[in-house]
Structure 1
């Protein structure tokens, strides 16, 4: 209970009520700063990934952003706190401009929402905006806002228009998604048909061409990009720019023309926090306008080549997809209303039809208004576009060094220019988009490919050159002759034997530390691809725990050189012979397995070996592999016994190489098995992987694989089963494949 403070007259003392106000202003500034950070992140990501229409990933419209927005506009909805000074009145104005900026900036995020989520977010935003408009009007009437009333009136109009643009644009998203999905399926079949006809082409070139096609389909069909290039989003960008210009002129006039304003003296209850809110929100408005302004300019650039046709009837046609949802709602009966009286039902349906007719009219009006804004904007900036086109023409004319010459100097392959216009997913009225995409949008895939090519796995490539033909190490690392300590063996994944063999290699004595370090680097690069392949191509539940074992083991090996509680570096220094080291690792693993089965009843083991604890699964893998290597050494002569490190490295190379034969299928799956909202990022990721792994794919072009179907190729158990049914190569053949020419050393100088 707080202390009750009354004066001598018995009235409540209210002098302390204003003390926390600066901290409330600071709270609003922090919320504005969160928006500033999210919008800055979107701008940086858009520039980084060359998405100059700036999709909304961090500053999307959702429950979190709406809550932060309600906090950030605290000053706008404060009805009775005196705001006398210049920065106080400007802070009120910056609040309303800030709302317009957030609405316009987050408009493309409508494409990522499901129908229910979109309805909830738009409804919540509408309630918030209407509340702000009413509160600002009250403040204008009561005199809390006594300057910049024209600016406030204009911003309130912008805010209301932006809310309508957002709401009615949301109605088109479900139908456009369905239409684009159907169109994508048709284009996908066309791409597959063309891919089947490309026989005799190198795998990397074929995949690269396919990815260009899939990128064009994914990018032009991205729901965010569809919303971002729409005429309503173009109009929202124009209104956002006007809001920024309104705030800028108010700030400049109040600073440079102080005689035209009469501000009151005194200080508001928010004190110093008002200036902080004003500064934060002004910066946020500037940064947040970058995305809408670029979308506005890009849409104008799309329509610029055909701007002469925009004044015709075709240019101002309202396409069917704008009103399709409303027409369908009008034609559908109200099944949720249970009214027995016929006249009442008739009245309800008439009211519904009247309301939807008004909505259809409003939608048509908004679309036509947006097209007029685009036309006026095009005419306004046409001279800028004309100068840009002239500059590009002069650049082509006077720069004599061709792209081919530059590429020959850099040593990279020339990009493959394809006619991708047939893979553009466009809507009705977007004819200009096809030509623009045909002209420009093959570039991003080539850019990402070249960028990824520079970050290829150099250590892994060196290791994979030592793989045997057919990757026989997949079966040789675990022999059937090893006596099993279990009634049932856990299944194998690709990563666990690689990690276990690497632990053994790191523990072997009398090995050059540089060789060990480079092997660890190679395995670290290889495990990155193994994780991708396992998580996307073989998603069996019984392998999830096995993969967690491999990941947990590898972290300790990479960072601490430890296998469970065994210090591998210390073991390599203490060991006198390689056989002794193998025996120590085998005994350690065997003891853990025996102790586990001694302390656990059969009821505890009923879930199967794949559910065993991490330490036991790791110990079982170590025991079987060390026993296999010990058996192998017993059958070899002394000369071969000194090359255990090379033998282990070749086994690791074979397992990695066999797993990476699934890379081509992974890239195809990455492009196809994704939702429409995620497809663009999936294709971009596939291009990145192809750029990094192209040398791996080229190494595998002349390697023989087992005759397995694609699903079997993704499982190491299927590989082992295939080879176990075949006669293994003789010891002399194995020895020749594991020759001493193990090129792991990279010049340390």
Structure 2
């Protein structure tokens, strides 16, 4: 081959290589963007953990899910690629990507604690496939031929330091070595359950069944052994870490106690009398309220205090957002919530929100009522419905008819609240001025009956039909009750009576709020538990004064979850003799006496059992 042909051949190779390398810039930008997203998310978790004083840095922004695993696959594209030539800069980049993957896995760990078993299994399998792929590819490359790292290392290092600070107390126990080598049953409980579970295979051949069962038992035993090995290794590493850092902790706590002693001595020298007054009463041991796993160390007091501070913060937020209009409305409610039984003479199944919406609609439609009174009622009912919905959501199942009635109330209320319209009819423009209250109610009844006929023809008009049926029944009841009442012929008087009736229904419904709060605190879904408890504490702050108002009212004797349903209230209240209890301090004192204790527990208490 001549020199000219050789030069031409090399030029062609260089040109082809430049063409192959031309997309590398965009691929690098693509990988850098994905890495930046991961780094920002990890930094967000670090900032959130420091801000909330949660030194275990819970995964709030960077959790294991389909999106994060996809971004991670993009960020680790180079270690997966086997076709790229192993030049020096490429080797460095692949090494950095590998370290980046390890760092990310360290940040992922705590996100598994907020998942159920199925989600944990799926995400571990997906993450394992990615990790195994990268490990295998890099091993192949080794046989055949360094910003989203410093930030990512903060959270794992702090978790390690926090973990050993929690468990260092075990070294004071004589049997600490045994505790660190003990494998608690909950680590292998699921594997043992799977081992005992029969395989869903329809194999008739006896020998095949035996082989499959033996293979299954062997596989489960292998997994149990691996799990035990991982737990023991982790505990051994933890024990070594505690022994290494023990001098540091000892020095830190010695300095802390010395500082506290100096402060105490200086304060005692200035005022010895104040020291005696400053002795505080024994604090409540909050560890008694913490559910711990077998062999788990007690939480430090500072962690418990931080948790209490967070809860108190949420309660204060709720106290600053208390529904003022609703409190004013509930102050009009009667002591026995009589309006619960009076709004409708029929025995048709109902929910809390539907009669409230219907009664509010009638009150808005009354002529000669000042706008500020109408606006105030709408604001009060709007605040009350938000809490009534919580009650119904907490005690209603998905297949319950209450859901259909709730949907009907929601459809009607949305139009009333925003546009002062009831099912597309302007309530303030109906031809009601200058006529009596009885004629007003009759007009509303006629409008509801016509609307019901129209909505029956519409396939999607189910909720609207329920709303019109409620309007028909309630207006018929009011025509019967107020037809001969002279005071009721005044619009203002009827408006006030409707407001009291609405207050009775909302008050009876909201008397279930303590049980709603308890249910939220006992949320079983681990991925929703923290959010649910936070919502419960804020709800407690918001409804603190409302519960004080309702605590002075009479409650019917309803056991279990019956108090959460308006139909149960109406059944009891419509009876001739309705046993009830007045929730006042005076009555509680009377019921606490020995001779009345048994009677109170049988017929005069509000029994609501929360079944979890």
Does the Cα contact within 8 Å between 1:316 and 1:371 map onto a contact in 2? no
Residue 478 (structure 1) aligned to one of 328, 337, 344: 344
Residue 314 (structure 1) aligned to one of 171, 177, 180: 177
Change (3 A) 1:319 1:50: same
The yes-or-no answer on 1:533 pairing with 2:397 is no
Change (3 A) 1:679 1:596: closer
The yes-or-no answer on 1:545 pairing with 2:404 is yes
Q: 1:544 offset after TM fit, Å?
A: 1.0
The yes-or-no answer on 1:131 pairing with 2:133 is yes
Change (3 A) 1:471 1:44: farther
Task: Report the 3-state secondary structure (helix = DSSP H, G, I; strand = E; otherwise coil) of the residue aligned with 1:705.
Answer: strand
Counterparts of 2:373 and 2:559, CA distance in 1? 36
Does the Cα contact within 8 Å between 2:195 and 2:220 map onto a contact in 1? no
Number of the residue aligned with 2:361: 503
Does the Cα contact within 8 Å between 1:28 and 1:73 map onto a contact in 2? yes
Q: 1:499 offset after TM fit, Å?
A: 1.5
Change (3 A) 1:440 1:614: closer
Change (3 A) 1:55 1:469: same
- Per-residue CA deviation, residues 86-121 of structure 1 (Å, 9 max, x unaligned), is 8x7775455333322321122123334444543443
The yes-or-no answer on 1:70 pairing with 2:76 is no
Change (3 A) 1:398 1:460: farther
Change (3 A) 1:393 1:322: farther
Task: Report the 3-state secondary structure (helix = DSSP H, G, I; strand = E; otherwise coil) of the residue aligned with 1:370.
Answer: helix
Does the Cα contact within 8 Å between 2:180 and 2:235 map onto a contact in 1? no
- Per-residue CA deviation, residues 416-457 of structure 1 (Å, 9 max, x unaligned), is 953333333334544453766666654443343333222222
Change (3 A) 1:588 1:334: closer
Can you give the 5+ residue segments of structure 1 that lack an aligned partner in the other structure?
1-8, 144-246, 248-278, 401-414, 481-488, 605-610, 729-749
- Per-residue CA deviation, residues 692-720 of structure 1 (Å, 9 max, x unaligned), is 21212211222112233243221112222
Q: Residues 13-28 of structure 1: matches in 2 within 5 Å?
A: 16-28=19-31
Number of the residue aligned with 1:702: 552
- Per-residue CA deviation, residues 483-536 of structure 1 (Å, 9 max, x unaligned), is xxxxxx862111111122222333333323222222222112111111111011
The yes-or-no answer on 1:613 pairing with 2:481 is no
Does the Cα contact within 8 Å between 1:420 and 1:442 map onto a contact in 2? no
Number of the residue aligned with 2:232: 364
Change (3 A) 1:370 1:548: same
Task: Report the 3-state secondary structure (helix = DSSP H, G, I; strand = E; otherwise coil) of the residue aligned with 1:317.
Answer: helix
Counterparts of 2:385 and 2:264, CA distance in 1? 45
Q: Residues 208-227 of structure 1: matches in 2 within 5 Å?
A: none
Does the Cα contact within 8 Å between 1:323 and 1:363 map onto a contact in 2? no
Counterparts of 2:211 and 2:156, CA distance in 1? 49
Number of the residue aligned with 1:717: 567
Q: 1:654 offset after TM fit, Å?
A: 0.8
Number of the residue aligned with 1:192: none
Does the Cα contact within 8 Å between 1:310 and 1:316 map onto a contact in 2? no
Counterparts of 2:47 and 2:433, CA distance in 1? 53
Task: Report the 3-state secondary structure (helix = DSSP H, G, I; strand = E; otherwise coil) of the residue aligned with 1:645.
Answer: helix
Number of the residue aligned with 1:186: none
Q: 1:340 offset after TM fit, Å?
A: 7.9
Number of the residue aligned with 1:101: 103
Number of the residue aligned with 1:61: 64
Counterparts of 1:323 and 1:709, CA distance in 2? 36
Task: Report the 3-state secondary structure (helix = DSSP H, G, I; strand = E; otherwise coil) of the residue aligned with 1:643.
Answer: helix
The yes-or-no answer on 1:635 pairing with 2:499 is no
TM-score by length of 2: 0.74
Change (3 A) 1:112 1:467: same
Can you give the 5+ residue segments of structure 2 that lack an aligned partner in the other structure?
1-11, 269-280, 579-612
Counterparts of 1:334 and 1:54, CA distance in 2? 37
Change (3 A) 1:528 1:382: farther
- Per-residue CA deviation, residues 251-288 of structure 1 (Å, 9 max, x unaligned), is xxxxxxxxxxxxxxxxxxxxxxxxxxxx6x46xx62x5
- Per-residue CA deviation, residues 135-170 of structure 1 (Å, 9 max, x unaligned), is 445666778xxxxxxxxxxxxxxxxxxxxxxxxxxx
- Per-residue CA deviation, residues 678-702 of structure 1 (Å, 9 max, x unaligned), is 4444333332222221212211222
Number of the residue aligned with 1:468: 334
- Per-residue CA deviation, residues 303-335 of structure 1 (Å, 9 max, x unaligned), is 45x386389853873122289629976996998
Counterparts of 1:687 and 1:698, CA distance in 2? 16
Number of the residue aligned with 2:276: none
Q: 1:70 offset after TM fit, Å?
A: 1.1
Number of the residue aligned with 1:652: 502
Counterparts of 1:618 and 1:666, CA distance in 2? 27
Q: Residues 233-632 of structure 1: matches in 2 within 5 Å?
A: 281=148, 286=151, 288-289=152-153, 291-303=155-167, 306=169, 309=172, 314=177, 317-321=180-184, 325=188, 360-361=228-229, 363-380=231-248, 418-433=284-299, 441-480=307-346, 491-539=349-397, 541-571=400-430, 575-577=433-435, 579=437, 581-596=440-455, 599=457, 613-632=462-481
Q: 1:467 offset after TM fit, Å?
A: 0.3
TM-score by length of 1: 0.62
Does the Cα contact within 8 Å between 2:445 and 2:476 map onto a contact in 1? yes
Change (3 A) 1:324 1:103: closer
Task: Between the two structures, name the one with larger relative contact order (CA 8 Å, sep ≥ 6).
Answer: 1
Q: CA RMSD in A?
A: 4.7
Q: 1:567 offset after TM fit, Å?
A: 2.2
